[in-house]
Amino acid sequence: MEKEKGISRRGAIKVVGTLAAGAAASGVLGTAEAAGRKKAPRWVMVIDIRRCTGVRACVVACKAEYDTPLGAWNTVVREVESGKYPDVKKDFLPRLCNHCEGNEKEGVPPCVKICPEYPAGRKEYITPAGKKIRYRGGATYKRPDGMILLDNSLCIGCGKCIDACPYGARAFNKKLKAGKDPSKNGITKCSFCQHRVDKGVEPSCVNTCPTSSRVFGDINDPNSEVSKLAKEFKLMERSNETTILPEAGTRPQIYYIDEKNALGNYKLTKENKTDEFKAEIK
């Protein structure tokens, strides 16, 4: 099946999601087991650094998908240099919001926890098996399938989520006024292309990557490509080596296959995160 119909050359994304708004399940179902599961999917991305050639097709695709303002990015590809002349090397490190699981205790990422704007009522998520899961929404919120999303109609443009993210994955969006306070700008960040995934189509960056460096899917589905990669490379067991800035305790859900220690050579700290998504090439 063609990629734009939801299936990549690395395999189908096992889309079992339904819209948080309550639409009926209509995505491309991966397996009978996935279709029958009551549990929500858990979307993750695996990025194989060995495959990334730094062509930045993903960055361009993301810009086209979101029309982010000049100087703001939802995904970037950083360049990581290491070694000493003449024994030097350069790796390319794609970056985006980590759709963090959140701390062990609450399962809430810092950007969501700090958001002051959330509705009194609960939202509903419908699993592939038709089970309703009620969850707290908000101007920024975590959906039961793990997506960290934005609801601009509730946003007051305070920017607290930008400050709270240890990865600098959020920026003000000068093209978008905050829904509740139009004197302030809204926020931009990666949404895992929720609008596409809910319709059974993989994220635009994944669809565009010419080397299949980015793989997206449901980690709760043992037959998904991401599950197979996670098993093969022990991505979850080794999350201290396969995720960015694990010491922040947010449990990122972007996993890297990183045999050359690009993550170890990448100097992201809580202190220097500011410009991560405001300039593509440093």
Binding stretches for ligand SF4 (CB under 6 A): 97-100, 109-111, 148, 165, 167, 169-170, 189, 250
Q: Which is nearer to ligand SF4, 17 or 109 (CB)?
A: 109
Q: What's phi and psi for 196, nearest 5 deg?
A: -85, -50
Percentage helix, strand, coil for the chain under 3-state DSSP, each rounded to 5: 20, 25, 55
10 or 143, CB closer to ligand SF4? 143
Tell me whether residue 12 or residue 206 sits nearer to ligand SF4 (CB atom): 206
At its nearest, how many Å lie between ligand SF4 and the CB of residue 67? 20
Provide the minimum distance between the beta carbon of 116 and ligand SF4 in the complex, in angstroms, as a whole number.
15
Q: Whose Cβ is closer to ligand SF4: residue 75's or residue 250's?
A: 250
Q: List, in order, residues 6 or more apart from 272 with CB less than 8 Å away.
A: none
Closest CA to 48 of 219, 210, 214, 267: 214
Instruction: Give 96 or 230: the residue with its C-beta nearer to ligand SF4.
Output: 96
Write down the least CB distance from residue 88 to ligand SF4, Å.
30
- Cα radius of gyration rounded to whole Å, the chain: 18
Contact 281, 79 (CB under 8 A): yes
Q: Are 3 and 205 in contact (CB under 8 A)?
A: no
CB of 47 to ligand SF4, least distance (A): 14
Report how far residue 234's alpha carbon sits from residue 18's, in angstroms, rounded to the nearest whole number.
29
User: Residue 189 Cβ, how far from ligand SF4 at the closest point, in Å?
Assistant: 6
Least Cβ distance, residue 169 to ligand SF4 (angstroms): 4
Residue 209 or 248: the one with the smaller Cβ distance to ligand SF4 is 248
Distance in angstroms (rounded) separating the CA atoms of residues 90 and 134: 45
Q: What is the DSSP-derived secondary structure letter of residue 59?
A: H
What distance in Å separates the CA atoms of residue 275 and residue 25, rounded to the nearest whole number? 39
